[in-house]
Structure 1
Amino acid sequence: MAAFRSFLFALIFYGGTVPAVLLSFPISLLGTRAIRWWAHGWARYHRLCARLLLGVRTKVEGTPPRGACLVASKHQSMFETLELILMLDEPATVLKRELADIPLWGWVTRRYGVIPVDRKGGAAALRRMMRAAESAIAEGRPIAIFPEGTRVPPGAQPPLQPGFAGLYRALKLPVVPVAVDSGRLWPRGRFVKRAGIVTMRFLAPIEPGLPRPEIEARVHAAINELDR
């Protein structure tokens, strides 16, 4: 049954995603508000497909933040990347520069207001990232980052990437850690997904201005709470 439900999800969700992506190019010409509205619609479509076709629902613990802050989330599947779009109200997501450089698609993501990060780009790349982050803060948008850098399977707790500490120090924003256990139901690299409840736990904000070892240790422990 799980395999059949996963097949239906792939057929319907990705079948609907193709025209959504194609239409995003002309919609983005209408302005930032239009493309953000469209992205939210796509995220809601994903949530509906996950609930009805896969039987995957979300349990939210804590309170999703509003306004400018850093939201540091565990990353185990595609599921939380789209759920955070809905829960955080137009977050500026930090993503790999390669994704933002894809022809046309990359232009749309930049129009939405993502923050591309080039891990090998040196000081110039860091300045570009900071300008994008400051623009998001000026709009009152939260900045979403996956500080471990990539999707990991349940139980894996890699160290945080250095870019997180750099953003934290430079932006002087509080950090809201998010623990996620989506990998139990939505394993990375596997087609079959299982029905169940994904917990997304928003922890208490951590104040700005802490030394790098302390903020990294506290965020690392917090985002891995559901992995214990």
Structure 2
Amino acid sequence: MKSDKATALDVVRSLLFYVVFYGGTVVMVSACFVASLFGDEPLRRTVRGWSRLHRWCARWILGIRIVVEGEFPNEGVLVALKHESFFEAIDLPAQMLYPAPFPKAELAEIPGWGWAARRYGAVVVQRGEGAKALRAMVSSARGFAAQGRPLAIFPEGTRVPTGARPPLQSGFAGLYKLLDLPIVPVAVNSGRLYHRRWKKPGTITFRVGERIAPGLPRDDVEARVHAAINALNT
């Protein structure tokens, strides 16, 4: 069994990754401003290019391979993902065609990046803002789904350590009911490699689960989503 401790090579790889990817991110955010002058499509392609840059850096600098079991949707459905690290959040535009993410409000306020996320099209989550904020989220999400864009959400609400199986956030079931859309659950095991500080080489797997129909009772849909997104959680 491999040790969780970072080796000297892990540290060197991680430092190089930070220089190349985050340096590239500054360039790509600047490119988003230029691309936006020519419309939504050039901007979305630029964001997809940023995600692919991250994937290239993960593969060739960190030594992380990606395996996808199943097929990600490219239509207006809810995609509910396990969230163990920033890896899956950054990788979404490379996995699906223009997904609409649900970033927390504080992330959408980051200078440059926040503007690009809003302009690209995201459902900003305003926690603790009550019914008005929920109505705004639902309206925004419906608009993106009508455009055929997958709605990518982390139903546990935040990143969790590998092996953790917290309950789903209460708002997830409400969103499922109000949107009346199918759910595609996705398990991912990124946390054991893509640590906050030093990353490690290996394979990250995405397992796309069976589609869950709209209109199910809350307990039923929560149990099915919870089981599916934790399918790799061993």
Deviation at 1:103, TM superposition (A): 4.6
Q: In structure 1, how many angstroms separate the alpha carbons of the residues matched to 2:110 and 2:199?
A: 28
Aligned position for 1:31:
39
User: Are the counterparts in 1 of residues 51 and 92 from structure 2 also a CA contact under 8 Å?
Assistant: no
Any unmatched runs of 5+ in structure 2? 1-8
Aligned position for 2:225:
219
Q: TM-score, normalised by structure 2?
A: 0.92
Aligned-partner SS, 2:102: strand
Aligned position for 2:3:
none
Please tell me the root mean square deviation across aligned C-alpha atoms, in Å.
1.3
Q: In structure 1, how many angstroms separate the alpha carbons of the residues matched to 2:171 and 2:61?
A: 37
Residues 86, 166 of structure 1: CA spacing in aligned structure 2 closer, same or farther, 3 A cutoff? same
For residues 61-210 of structure 1, what are the structure 2 equivalents within 5 Å? 61-187=69-195, 189=196, 191-210=197-216
Aligned position for 2:63:
55
Residues 103, 2 of structure 1: CA spacing in aligned structure 2 closer, same or farther, 3 A cutoff? closer
Q: In structure 1, how many angstroms separate the alpha carbons of the residues matched to 2:30 and 2:101?
A: 21
Deviation at 1:41, TM superposition (A): 0.5
Q: In structure 2, how many angstroms separate the alpha carbons of the residues matched to 1:11 and 1:101?
A: 23
Identity over aligned pairs, percent: 54
Alpha-carbon displacement from aligned partner over 1:200-219 (angstroms, at most 9, x marks no partner):
00001011111111111110
Aligned position for 2:5:
none
Any unmatched runs of 5+ in structure 1? none
Q: In structure 1, how many angstroms separate the alpha carbons of the residues matched to 2:140 and 2:132?
A: 13
Alignment length, in residue pairs? 226
Aligned position for 1:4:
12
2:182 is aligned with what amino acid? Answer: P
Q: Which 10-residue stretch deviates more, 211-220 or 13-22?
A: 13-22
Q: In structure 1, how many angstroms separate the alpha carbons of the residues matched to 2:16 and 2:129?
A: 41
Aligned position for 2:48:
40
Deviation at 1:148, TM superposition (A): 0.5
Q: TM-score, normalised by structure 1?
A: 0.95
Aligned-partner SS, 2:18: helix
User: Are the counterparts in 2 of residues 25 and 105 from structure 1 also a CA contact under 8 Å?
Assistant: no
